[in-house]
Structure 1
Amino acid sequence: MTGPDTRDELIRASTLLDLGRPGEARTRLGVVLAADPGNAFALRLLARCHHATGEMGQAIETAKAAVAADPGSEHGHRILANAYNAAGDRPAATAEAREALRLAPEEWRCHWLLAECLRHSDPHAALPPAQRARELAPNEADVHVLYGVVVKQLGRSEEARAAYLHALSINPNLATAHNNIAVLDRANGSWARALAGFRTSLRHNPQQKLARENLANTIVLLLRRLCGAAYAATFLVLVVSDLTSAAQLRVLGAAVALAMLGGLAWIMFIARRSVGTFASTVVRTDRRAVTALIVFGGAFVVTVALAVVQVVPLRLVRSTFGGIGHNGHLLTAIGVGSIIAARGTTRKRKKK
Structure 2
Amino acid sequence: MLELGRWREAIAELGTVVADHPGDVEALCLLARCYSLAGDPASTVATAERVLAVAPRHEWALRQRAVALAALKHRRAAAESARAAIVAAPTEWRAHAALAEVQVQRLGAWSVLSARLAADAALRLAPEEADAHLVDARVRLRTGELTAARRACLRALELDPGNQVALHNLAVVELTRERPDRAARGFTEVLAGRPDDRLVGTAHRRVVHAMLWRLFDVFAAATLLHVALFTVLAGPWRRPVALATALALLAGLTLVGVRAWRAQPAPVRWRLRSDRLRPAVMLWPAMVAAAALTLLLSAYRPAPGGVAERMWWAALLVTLVGFGARLVELLGRRVLILLVRLSFRATLGLYRAGVALRRRRVPAAAARARG
Give the structure-2-normalised TM-score: 0.69
How many residues are aligned here? 319
Task: Give yes or no for contact 2:230–2:242 (8 Å, CA) kept in 1.
Answer: no
Distance in 1 of aligned mates of 2:148 and 2:292:
46
CA contact (8 A) 1:231 1:299 kept: no
Find the aligned partners of 1:298 and 1:228 in 2 and give their Cα distance.
Answer: 13
The gaps in structure 2 that reach 5 residues or longer are 327-371
SS at 2:85 equivalent: helix
Matches within 5 A, 1:1-352: 16-121=1-106, 122-188=111-177, 190-206=179-195, 208-227=197-216, 252=242, 255-256=245-246, 258-270=248-260, 272-273=262-263, 275-277=264-266, 280-287=269-276, 288=278, 290-296=281-287, 298-299=289-290, 302-303=293-294, 315-319=306-310, 322=313, 331=318
Consecutive unaligned residues of structure 1, counting only runs of 5 or more, are 1-15, 340-352
Task: Tell whether the 8 Å contact from 1:17 to 1:25 is kept in structure 2 after alignment.
Answer: yes
Shift in Å, 1:249: 7.4
Superposed CA offset, 1:241-271 (max 9, x none): 99999x9779757744652452242143245
User: Post-superposition shift, 1:307?
Assistant: 6.2
CA contact (8 A) 1:108 1:132 kept: yes
Partner SS state of residue 17, structure 1: coil
Secondary structure at the aligned position of 1:46 is classed as helix
Give the C-alpha shift of residue 276 in structure 1. Answer: 4.9
Deviations 1:156-192 (A, max 9, x none): 3333333222222211121222233334444555554
Contact 1:239 1:318 in 2 (8 A): no
Deviation of 1:84 after TM superposition, in Å, equals 0.9
Share of identical aligned residues, percent? 31
| Aligned-partner residue type, residue 67 of structure 2 | N
Q: Is the 8 A contact 1:118 1:125 kept in 2?
A: yes
Amino acid at match of 1:91: R
**Partners of 2:302 and 2:309 in 1: CA distance:** 13
CA RMSD of aligned residues (A): 4.0
Q: Write the distance in 2 (CA, Å) between the matches of 1:212 and 1:120.
A: 22
> Contact between 1:130 and 1:146, CA under 8 Å: does it hold in 2?
yes
Of 254-263 and 50-59, more deviation after overlay is shown by: 254-263
Bigger Cα displacement from structure 2, 235-244 vs 58-67: 235-244
Checking the alignment, whether the CA contact within 8 Å between 2:23 and 2:54 is kept in structure 1 is: yes
Cα distance in 2 between the residues matched to 1:261 and 1:223: 16
Q: In structure 1, what residue type is equivalent to 2:207? A: T
Question: In the aligned structure 2, how far is the partner of 1:220 from the partner of 1:128?
Answer: 36
User: Which secondary structure state, in structure 1, belongs to the residue aligned with residue 187 of structure 2?
Assistant: helix
Q: Is this contact kept in 1: 2:223–2:295, CA < 8 A?
A: no
Which TM-score applies when normalising by structure 1?
0.72
